[in-house]
Chain A
Amino acid sequence: MSVLYLVIPLALVVVALAIGAYVWSARSGQFDDLDTPAMRMLHDDEAGETRSEKREA
């Protein structure tokens, strides 16, 4: 089980990377508004339709 001595520190590095990514995303405001994007998605749908129409034409 001596592989643990290698794997655990490695896992810690991965954890640090994940935390870093999360902190970056939170600081850049990606969690500021969790409601509006969900609604915006519905509007995007309409835009998507026009795009696909264009493709057909």
Chain B
Amino acid sequence: MAEVRARLGTGCAHCGLAVPPERRAIGSAPAFCCGGCETAHGILRAGGLAQYYALGERRAAPVRPTGRSYDEFDHAAFEELYVSRRADGLATAELYLEGVHCASCVWLVERVPLLEAGIARAELDVRRSLLRVEWDPRAVPLSRIAQVLDRLGYPPHPFHGVAREAMRRREDRAALVRIGVAGALAGNVMLIAFALYAGDLQGMAPGERQMFRWVSLVLTLPALLFPGRVFFTGAWAALRTRALHMDLPIALALAAASVRGALNTITDSGPVYFDGVTLLVFLLLVGRYLQQRGQRAATDAAELLLSLTPRMARVRQDDGALRDVPTEALLPGMLVEVGAGQVFPADGTVVHGESSVNRALLTGESVPVVVVPGDVVAAGSENVGAPVRVRVDAAGSASRLARLLAEVEANARRRAPVVALANRLAGVFVALVLLLAAVTFLLWVGRDTALAWDHAIALLIVTCPCALALATPLAVSVAVGRAARAGIYIKGGDALELLARPGIMVLDKTGTVTAGRHDLVAWDGDPRWRPVILALEEGAAHPVAEGFRRAWPDLAPASLEGVRHDVLGGVSGRWDGREVAIGSPAFVASHGAEITGWRERLAGAAVTPVLLAIDGQVVAVAGFGDPVRDGARDALDALRARGWQTHLLSGDDTAVVTAVADALGFAAHQVIARATPEEKLARIRALRAGAGVRAVVMVGDGVNDAAAMTAAHVGVGVHGGAEASLLVADVHLTAPGLAPLQRLVEGATRTLGLIRRNMLWAVGYNAVGVALAMSGRLSPLVAAILMPVSSLTVVLGSWLGRSFVAAPVATTAASPATRHRRAA
């Protein structure tokens, strides 16, 4: 450590890194590693922000400005998309900043208003590297603000998911490099440590012993300085914000043990601790990586959703020429050409051409809808028919898709309190460890100072939360992996924990507990009319027509003439010289048929009636309904037996919903019919407010459920749901029916059991370690065995424990899963 600080003292005056010889300054003038740092230094001095250099810890990365003009930040199209104006004349925008690492970055970035007149406020969310800036557009253009940020080493980007995806990837690679390097170094130090311990037991030549100790010192230093640095920066940030963070005792243990180990190596006396130090760095990095990846998947949903919209659009200019522009530059009023098979880049109105549009992304309805000039199309839906010309009505953040996304993001932010609780618990743990180490030191310092150091360091090493840090993320990631193989995609570990305890399960009706399609469920009439019906419905894409075809797949249609599809919702034609008409009671009545008595023929079932009339006589009555999924009752009863409360929410008619609720055993007060998406959302919020510690789980399939799903503690998207609802869901079931839901809850319960067992092991090991260390019986050998064994127990426990079992339909579940991933 001492070496680093010495290097910092003579390093770059801005970032502290080494200064290349050709840039060395003469005399007392500050030296810089690069032009970027020199510029940044100049800006800070001129702006009166020289205190930045008094901060104990600064961003140790050279400033690499892109030097861009950021002219596009002032463009009207950009402003339209990313800038919002407030009533008081100020403008606000969210920018994603590269290079934000630590507390000093927050300090610096939030002081940008002091550097440039006209900036009212800058607020940085360091976890997401998001800067919210408020400025007076009359005094300073946004491009100027962007330039300043750029020159300070934080190149800004308009915030949207795609660009961040690439940055995330870079961060991920850096984390993997750290883990790999730490692992390789730890493995080699451990090997040497085995030789040293063996030498302690059966004797070893002093020269060789000394060489082994020096080699492990040489291997430990890079492990501390490169992968281990994150703990020191984290601990420093915790100190600065006066919060007790897990990094604090870790950094303390690493620093104390390695300084002590290095001294002992030099003086050739006492234990060296290097095996413990390197293993600690490695295991903690692994635990952290697993945890981060798990959390990230959940928050990425919104950005993935955005990336489903196309990046480029083909604009028809006033002179008739076509030009490709990025979708960000689209403005209301522009004319856009959308070819067959392409996705609409913005909300708009069709002005030329006829086509059909697949709105599955937004509505989950997979039947394409016909659009003609004057019809409205939404961003994200697919043009499946012919090329059309569309006038843009709303683009970017104003589109329906983007507004949905904003709702999702806002809800995701509200979930933070769970994380806060974990941090508080970590704080208690940290305080306890530091206290115990201090007590140990005080207990022994009276007898022997060197011994007191050894015991206190041994305690810090042995209590380092390796097993504890691995216990939850490891069990969760193994369970998530197993669940994926069973056709259940889980995006966040917290979803698993919430599903493990009985709570309130709210189910959408259409498409969730029912199959979500029109099936023929009642029929009263002579079978000889069936071919006539098939002939009338032949070629029609209407759900009723498809329902008839599904019901009688082997019948050949009769031959008809003069078939006419009516806008009122029916079909008429001539069969064998007789007038035939099929459709709703109103349609059949409009064809002069006497329609009394059909209700009795359906025996009062809650179905959509379809009547067939021949020459003004109703000859057959068919009832269409949405059949309840197979096994739904069994799955729901299993959930209720576990203590779950089940609710049914639907936008459907009261009679239909009541019929389904009765069949599935929902209590009357737990059923709500005719609910709009807003009412669903309100219902979930009300349930949450009254649920206390119980989790509210929303199970749905459409975009109309998406807001409710994000408002609930856990959102579950079922098989066949709209792409958008699957993306906002914390859990995505790829197998049909409610049986996967039951498996999900059972698996979550088992996973929580596994986590508890892991925690018990970890805490047990820690307790034993603390007792041994405080009583002075913890030799480095015992510590070296205890620590990996405790982590190994947790690893094995997570791997061997039963969490999710593969579903019997795993093979059929594989294909939609693949499709979903590719779409994402």
Contact = CB atoms under 8 A, between A and B. Distances in A.
Contacts of B173: 26-27, 29, 31-32
Contacts of B185: 15, 19
Nearest to B184: A19
B86 interface: no
A23 B222 CA distance: 14
Interface in A24-50: 26-27, 29, 31-32, 35-36, 39
A48 B173 CA distance: 32
Contact of A32 (B169, B181, B208, B212): B169
A39 B255 CA distance: 44
A1 interface: yes
Contacts of A4: 208, 211
A27 B180 CA distance: 12
Nearest to A24: B177
A31 B176 CA distance: 8
Nearest to B222: A19
Interface residues of A, number: 19
B524 interface: no
A15 B176 contact: no
Nearest to B218: A12
Contact of B821 (A5, A12, A35): A35
Contact of B180 (A5, A26, A39): A26
A41 to B, nearest CB: 12
Interface in B159-198: 169, 172-173, 176-177, 180-181, 184-185, 188
A9 to B, nearest CB: 8
Interface in B779-822: 818, 821
B818 A39 contact: yes
A15 B185 CA distance: 8
A27 B818 contact: no
B205 interface: yes
Contacts of B219: 12, 15
Contacts of A27: 173, 177
Contacts of B212: 8
Contacts of A12: 188, 215, 218-219
B499 to A, nearest CB: 23
Contacts of A32: 169, 172-173
Nearest to B169: A32
Given A23-B181, A27-B173, A32-B172, A5 B188 contact: no
Nearest to A27: B173
A43 to B, nearest CB: 9
A16 B265 CA distance: 23
B821 A18 contact: no
A28 B184 CA distance: 19
The residue in A8, A15, A35 that gathers the most chain B C-beta atoms within 10 A of its C-beta is A8
A19 B178 CA distance: 10
Contacts of A31: 173, 176
The residue in B177, B211, B218, B821 that gathers the most chain A C-beta atoms within 10 A of its C-beta is B177
A38 B177 CA distance: 22
Contact of A39 (B172, B176, B205, B821): B821
A26 B169 CA distance: 11
A16 B763 CA distance: 36
A26 B821 contact: no
Contacts, number: 46
B341 to A, nearest CB: 21
Nearest to A29: B173
A26 B174 CA distance: 8
Contact of B215 (A8, A19, A23, A29): A8
Interface in B488-527: none
Contacts of A29: 169, 173
Contacts of B205: 1
A28 to B, nearest CB: 9
A48 to B, nearest CB: 18
The residue in A1, A12, A18, A23 that gathers the most chain B C-beta atoms within 10 A of its C-beta is A23
A5 B211 CA distance: 8
Contacts of A26: 173, 176-177, 180
A15 B184 contact: yes
A3 B218 CA distance: 20
A15 B821 contact: no
B180 A36 contact: no
The residue in B169, B176, B821 that gathers the most chain A C-beta atoms within 10 A of its C-beta is B176
A36 B823 CA distance: 12
Contacts of B211: 4-5, 8
Nearest to A39: B818
B696 to A, nearest CB: 31
The residue in A1, A26, A36, A39 that gathers the most chain B C-beta atoms within 10 A of its C-beta is A26
B169 A18 contact: no
Contacts of A39: 818, 821
Contacts of B208: 1, 4
Contacts of B181: 19, 22-23
A22 B183 CA distance: 11
B467 to A, nearest CB: 25
Interface in B396-432: none
Contacts of A15: 184-185, 188, 219
Contacts of B218: 12
A4 B207 CA distance: 11
A22 B215 contact: no
Contacts of B821: 35-36, 39
A19 B172 contact: no
A11 B184 CA distance: 12
B224 to A, nearest CB: 15
Given A4-B208, A35-B821, A36-B821, A22 B172 contact: no
Given A29-B169, A32-B172, A18 B177 contact: no
A18 B176 CA distance: 15
The residue in B172, B188, B211 that gathers the most chain A C-beta atoms within 10 A of its C-beta is B188
A22 B205 CA distance: 35
Nearest to A12: B215
A39 B484 CA distance: 13
B709 to A, nearest CB: 24
Contacts of B188: 11-12, 15
B604 to A, nearest CB: 50
Contacts of B169: 29, 32
A23 B172 contact: no
Contacts of B818: 39
Interface string B263-290: 0000000000000000000000000000
Nearest to A4: B208
Contacts of B184: 15, 18-19, 22
Given A15-B188, A19-B180, A27-B177, 11 more contacts: A1-B208, A8-B211, A8-B212, A11-B188, A12-B188, A12-B215, A15-B185, A18-B184, A19-B181, A19-B185, A27-B173
Q: Which 3 A-B pairs have the closest CB atoms?
A: A26-B176, A22-B180, A26-B177
Interface of A: 1, 4-5, 8, 11-12, 15, 18-19, 22-23, 26-27, 29, 31-32, 35-36, 39
22 contacts: A1-B205, A4-B208, A8-B211, A8-B212, A11-B188, A12-B219, A15-B185, A15-B188, A19-B180, A22-B177, A22-B181, A23-B177, A23-B180, A26-B173, A26-B176, A26-B177, A27-B173, A27-B177, A29-B169, A29-B173, A32-B172, A35-B821
Interface of B: 169, 172-173, 176-177, 180-181, 184-185, 188, 205, 208, 211-212, 215, 218-219, 818, 821
